């Protein structure tokens, strides 16, 4: 099996698993209990929080541990009851949370990049909360957070000069980015940052929310008062310790990972688009033509068979390679690919499961035929250059097979 | 080390740990992803939910998985915006949640048992939500849920006859009870039931809420729509699989466990109260006198040294043996006990951590001196009859040492 859906889930890394194991049955004590073995668990837990925080240039006390990115996002949104701005391409957790608020959606371009003009235009004096993911979960598009933060800083200054006391917070969902981008909340000017263990080699069911100074949140759950009263309940000690190990590991391999995944993407694109040495009899020697959105503004639907690489690779997480075979049925293709040992999804897992059309691909202006033929490919720790090359060959063959089938009206 | 604080945390059982391990790094797929290995994960997850549900006589679809009892309780409380009744001895998660509502607290007797008269009196036609734990987390007192449910049924009938459409739901926190009581939600007449993996041999960070038919809740977190839209976020697959293994194991050993812990309690009490063979020179042959609250209504403060067994053992979880050495400083005692290898806490871990006086012990009418001298002892899987006997001897010796120290004004 070659797994190309690391944006949906990553295996827990051996280091993270080893780190957490002693905390299930041996160091199992309640970190709030008064005896020394429990205090040691408390210490290990707080140290783990510090380690997670260090990967984003923060301190452990600035983090609230949650059950995952969705909870972090929902908690972040309690900072304000006022107007919210977000991108039309955000994860469903953000888009559902904004529905509880007066809100407006900022447009993106054909690569999924925020329109800064539209953002400036919509950032009126009533907006209290801006939520923009660091990297999109379907396209991998990296948003220019520093520029966004600078625009917000200017708006704050304007409000100050106008004696407008409306607060303005910037939240970013960094779920997909921790193992590929060098995140520093202070440098980036971010007030609230969502992290997700399960996307960077940690376990499912653990996330964190960084909370900058001066941001006041309202707990979603009340009780024993853990996590500074913002998230009551006995701490998930093993989960947090594994998260720390995974985050630290990811951070220390940031540059190496980026280079590795850039090379995988290069090989993947090359293999996918090269002339077939032995093509199906009915499609003699037909190459799949690369239609690269970042280089061409022409109509996507010319040429057949063709593959379109979605997003701009210069502004994309190195491990993302979303592609589109316009005219093909991606659902059918992923089934065929699975029988040949290649695991891919069409988009976000939670959305795919509901069979709904990707709002992200709609927002970047893809046609229904293009959306129906799109695949999200995301590399990760289970991949090697060899298995990526092999997967590309299988995808090329199966896509050509499907193109052929359709061109013969079968 | 002899651990006597299983009410604060239990080690993950070997079976539960073995069950969850493959789901970290091998079967790590997102259960919402479209390929077969992910669908198998989905199947395993849903089967695990069914198994958890079966232990309380319900179906998997009736459960929402949460990050623990605190979240379950907070979610349960979204059933109503109206008036709430609960016990003055409930866990802080319940007591904090009720503060968001118009509410009233029902009295308990000196054993922590609900006053049904007070309950009937306070259950007026405006009450919409009743939350009463199955067993108290400090005393182990088992509440008569069936009787409570019957009173609620009568109130519903009365409302129906009076064309009063105010709903009335019964929620119970069963966190401490799953491995000792035979729970059946239908038979008990419970609408909402909170479960906690970490108190019955499962991992921290996992809980469940049983939701009866016709109860409409409002999600605390919005997003991908997992758990019937009531709790979005990628599912904590390993955690739920471990919870299922632990719950199933607990359920299958219900009777054996009860007998085992009853015997432990008997031995513990016997050892604690028997005449010392070799007493400190200054307290020649002084026995610790058992002052059993369930048998005596006399003033607790007669006699010294003495131990008081809190609660009524006939209405108490078999593994709970809370005790009180009136006049002693329990904080100091648990420190001394720890140096001799016996781990005990003074009460709920999250409360102990804040240094606040137990609201449970206050509610059952203990004096400040009694509360200050109280210990929560709870047996569990790490205990044997031998280590319980040994622990009782150590506690007796250290308590006598403390009594002696105090009687000499040191």
A161 to chain B nearest CA, in Å?
37
User: Taking a C-beta distance cutoff of 8 angstroms, is the pair B344, B336 a contact?
Assistant: no
Whether B224 and A93 lie within 8 Å, measured CB to CB: yes
* Residue B357 confidence class, pLDDT cut points 50, 70, 90: confident
Selected residue of B5, B14, B22, B30 to mutate for chain A interface (largest A Cβ count, 10 A): B30
Find the residue in B nearest to A381 (Cα).
Answer: B25
Mutate to test the interface with A, among B21, B38, B337 (most CBs of A within 10 A): B38
- Yes or no, beta carbons of B35 and A344 under 8 Å apart: yes
- Decide: A325 and A399 in contact? Cβ < 8 Å: yes
Q: Which of B13, B34, B348 sits opposite A334 (nearest CB)?
A: B34
A28 touches chain B (CB under 8 A): yes
| Cis ω for the linkage preceding A305 (within 30 of 0) | yes
- The predicted pLDDT at position B297 comes to 38
Give the CA radius of gyration of chain A.
23
Are B204 and A5 in contact (CB < 8 Å)? Answer: no
**Number of DSSP helices (H) and strands (E) in chain B, helices first:** 15, 13
**B223, B228, B175, B180: which is closest to B59 by C-alpha?**
B228
* Residues of chain B contacting residue A13, judged by C-beta atoms under 8 Å apart: 25
- How is B104-132 classified by DSSP, letter by letter? EEE-B-TTS-B-HHHHHHH--TTEEEEE-
- Residue of B291, B279, B284, B300 lying closest to B393 (CA atoms): B279
Q: From the list B91, B93, B345, which residue is nearest A34 (CB)? A: B345
Higher pLDDT among residues A277 and A38, named by residue = A38
CB-based contacts of B192: which residues, under 8 Å, 6+ apart? B76, B79, B169, B170, B171, B172, B209, B210, B211, B212, B215
CB A24 within 8 A of CB B203: yes
First and final CA of chain A: distance in angstroms?
A: 29
Chain A residues whose CB is inside 8 A of the B353 CB are: 32-34
Half-sphere exposure of residue B308, counting CA atoms within 13 Å on the CB side? 31
Summarised one tens digit per residue, pLDDT across range A299-316 is 344 345 789 999 999 999
How far apart are alpha carbons B245 and A115 in whole angstroms? Answer: 50
CA angle at A174 for the pair A169 and A179, rounded to the nearest 5°: 150
pLDDT tens digits, B51-82: 999 999 999 999 999 999 999 999 999 999 99
Domains and CATH numbers, chain B: 14-252 (3.40.640.10), 255-407 (3.90.1150.10)
Q: How far is A379 from chain B (nearest CA, A)?
A: 14
Say if residue A258 is exposed, middle or buried (CB neighbours under 10 Å; 0-12, 13-18, 19+). middle
Which pLDDT belongs to residue A350? 57
In B50-205, at which residue ranges do the beta strands (DSSP E only) sit? Answer: 63-66, 83-87, 103-106, 127-131, 169-173, 192-196
Position A55 pLDDT exceeds 70? yes
pLDDT value at position B305? 74
Asked if A33's CB is within 8 angstroms of B9's CB, the reply is: yes
CA A262, chain centre distance (Å): 17
Enumerate the residues of chain A whose CB falls inside 8 A of the CB of residue B92. Answer: 223-225, 232
Q: Among all residues of chain A, which has the CA nearest to that of B31?
A: A349
Reply yes or no on whether the pLDDT at B280 is more than 50: no
A343 lies within 8 A of chain B by CB: yes
User: pLDDT tens digits, residue range B210-226?
Assistant: 999 999 999 999 999 99
Mutate to test the interface with A, among B194, B195, B223, B380 (most CBs of A within 10 A): B223
B181/chain A closest Cα distance in angstroms: 23
* Nearest Cβ partner for B71 among A5, A221, A350: A221
Query: How distant is the Cα of A194 from the closest Cα of chain B, in angstroms?
Result: 13
Neighboring chain B residues of A74 at a CB cutoff of 8 Å? 220-223
Mean pLDDT, chain A, as a whole number?
91
d(CA B281, CA B279): 6
Closest C-alpha among A268, A286, A264 to residue A277: A286
Q: Give percent of chain A with pLDDT exceeding 90.
A: 86
- Mean pLDDT, rounded, of chain B: 91
Tokens found for residue B74? 């907070």
Nearest neighbour of B350 by CB, restricted to A205, A226, A344: A226
- pLDDT at position A304 is 54
Chain A CB contacts of B235 below 8 Å: 204-205
Angle, to 10 degrees, between the axis of helix B254-273 and the axis of helix B237-252?
A: 70
Question: How many angstroms away from the CA of A367 is the closest CA of chain B?
Answer: 23
Give the whole-angstrom CA distance, residue A73 versus residue A77: 6
Chain B contact set for A223 (CB, 8 A): 70, 73-74, 91-93, 96-97, 350
Q: How far apart are CA B122 and CA B132, in angstroms?
A: 14
Q: Does position B289 have pLDDT exceeding 70, yes or no?
A: no
Rounded to the nearest 5 percent, the helix, strand and coil shares of chain B are 40, 15, 45
Rounded to the nearest angstrom, the gap between the alpha carbon of residue B381 and the centroid of all alpha carbons in its chain is: 16
Strand pairing class (A323-324; A374-375): antiparallel
Residue A137 has pLDDT above 90, yes or no: yes
CB–CB contact B33 A67 (8 Å): no
pLDDT at B291: 55
Q: Check CB contact of B1 with chain A, cutoff 8 Å.
A: yes
Percent of chain A at pLDDT exceeding 70: 90
CA distance B30 to B224: 13
B93/A221 touch (CB, cutoff 8 Å), yes or no: yes
pLDDT surpassing 50 at residue B112 = yes
CB contacts, 8 Å: B70 with chain A: 221-224, 232-234
Nearest CA in chain A to B13: A25
Among B residues 191-250, those touching chain A with beta carbons less than 8 Å apart: 198, 203-206, 220-226, 232-239
Q: What is the pTM of this model?
A: 0.93
Test the B interface: residue of A7, A39, A103, A232 with most B CBs within 10 Å: A232
Most B CBs within 10 Å, among A4, A27, A28, to test the B interface = A28
CB-CB contact of A31 with A41 (8 Å):
yes
B17: helix, strand or coil: helix
Residue pairs spanning A and B at CB distance below 8 A? 248
Chain B residues near residue A349 by CB distance under 8 angstroms: 30, 32-34, 38, 224, 234
Return residues 51-70 of A near B (CB < 8 Å): 66-70
User: With an 8 Å Cβ cutoff, is B170 touching chain A?
Assistant: no
Q: Is any Cβ of chain B less than 8 angstroms from the Cβ of A394?
A: no
CA B37 to chain A, closest CA, distance in angstroms equals 9
The reported pLDDT for the residue numbered A302 is 37
Q: Which residues contact A224 (CB under 8 A, 6 or more apart)?
A: A32, A232, A233, A234, B70, B92, B93, B348, B349, B350, B351
Show which of residues 114-143 on chain B sit within 8 Å of chain A, judged by CB atoms: none
Quote ipTM for the complex.
0.92
B218 burial level (CB within 10 Å; 0-12, 13-18, 19+): exposed
Q: What is the mean pLDDT of residues A56-83?
A: 97
Of B29, B34, B203, the CB nearest to A24: B203
Closest CA to A392 of A253, A263, A201: A263
Per-residue pLDDT for A282 more than 60? no
Is B224's CB within 8 Å of A1's CB?
A: no
What is the structure's pLDDT at A303? Answer: 40
A360 reaches B (C-beta below 8 A): no
User: Looking at beta carbons, which residues of chain B come within 8 Å of A6?
Assistant: none
| CA distance linking residue A243 with residue A234, whole number of Å | 17
Residues with Cβ within 8 Å of B35's Cβ and at least 6 positions away in sequence, in order, are A5, A334, A338, A343, A344, A345, B29
Residue, of B280 and A380, whose pLDDT is higher: A380
The verdict on a CB contact (< 8 Å) between A233 and B67 is yes
Token pair listed for A146: 């520093």
- pLDDT band (50, 70, 90) for residue A380: very high
Partner residue facing B349 (CB), from A10, A32, A343: A32
Q: Is 90 exceeded by the pLDDT of residue B407? A: no
Which residues in chain A are contacts of B204 at CB distance < 8 A? Answer: 234-239
Cα–Cα distance between B130 and B152 in angstroms, integer?
9
B233 with A17: Cβ contact below 8 A: no
State the pLDDT at residue A349. Answer: 63
- pLDDT band at B288; cut points 50, 70, 90: low
* All residues at 6 or more sequence positions from A380 whose CB lies less than 8 Å from its CB, including other chains: A3, A6, A10, A319
B-chain CB neighbours of A232 within 8 Å are: 70, 92-93, 96, 350
Q: Please, how many CA atoms are within 13 Å of residue B344, restricted to the half-sphere of its CB?
A: 31
């Amino acid at each position: 099996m070659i797994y190309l859906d690391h944006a949906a889930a990553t295996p827990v890394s051996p280091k993270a698993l080893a780190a957490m194991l002693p905390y299930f049955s041996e160091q199992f004590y309640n970190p709030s209990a008064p005896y020394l073995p429990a205090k040691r668990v408390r210490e290990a837990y707080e140290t783990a929080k510090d380690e997670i925080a260090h990967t984003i240039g923060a301190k452990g006390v600035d983090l609230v541990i949650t059950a995952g990115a969705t909870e972090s996002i929902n908690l972040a949104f309690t900072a304000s009851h006022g107007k919210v701005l977000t991108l039309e391409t955000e994860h469903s957790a953000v888009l559902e949370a904004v529905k509880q608020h007066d809100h407006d959606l900022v447009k993106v371009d054909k690569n999924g990049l925020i329109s800064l003009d539209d953002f400036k235009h919509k950032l009126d004096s009533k907006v209290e909360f801006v939520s923009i993911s660091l990297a999109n979960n379907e396209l991998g598009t990296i948003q220019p957070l520093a520029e966004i933060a600078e625009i917000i800083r200017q708006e704050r200054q304007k409000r100050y000069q106008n004696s407008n006391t409306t607060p303005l917070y910037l939240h970013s969902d960094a779920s997909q980015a921790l193992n590929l981008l060098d995140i520093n909340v202070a440098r980036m000017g971010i007030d609230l940052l969502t992290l997700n263990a399960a996307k960077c080699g940690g376990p499912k069911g653990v996330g964190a929310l960084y909370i900058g100074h001066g941001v006041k949140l309202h707990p979603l759950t009340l009780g024993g008062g853990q996590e500074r009263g913002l998230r009551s309940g006995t701490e998930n000690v093993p989960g947090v310790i594994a998260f720390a190990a995974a985050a630290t590991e990811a951070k220390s391999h940031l540059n190496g990972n980026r280079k590795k995944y850039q090379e995988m993407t290069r090989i993947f694109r090359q293999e996918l688009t090269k002339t077939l040495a032995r093509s199906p009899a009915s499609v003699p020697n037909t190459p799949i033509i690369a239609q690269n959105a970042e280089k061409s503004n022409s109509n996507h639907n010319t040429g057949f068979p063709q593959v379109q690489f979605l997003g701009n690779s210069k502004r994309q997480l190195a491990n993302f390679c979303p592609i589109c075979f316009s005219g093909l049925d991606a659902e059918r293709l992923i089934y065929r690919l699975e029988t040949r040992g290649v695991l891919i999804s069409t988009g976000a897992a939670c959305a795919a499961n509901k069979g709904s059309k990707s709002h992200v691909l709609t927002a970047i202006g893809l046609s229904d035929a293009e959306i129906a033929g799109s695949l999200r490919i995301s590399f990760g720790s289970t991949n090697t250059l060899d298995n990526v090359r092999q997967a590309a060959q299988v995808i090329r063959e199966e896509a050509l097979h499907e193109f052929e089938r359709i061109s013969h009206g079968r």
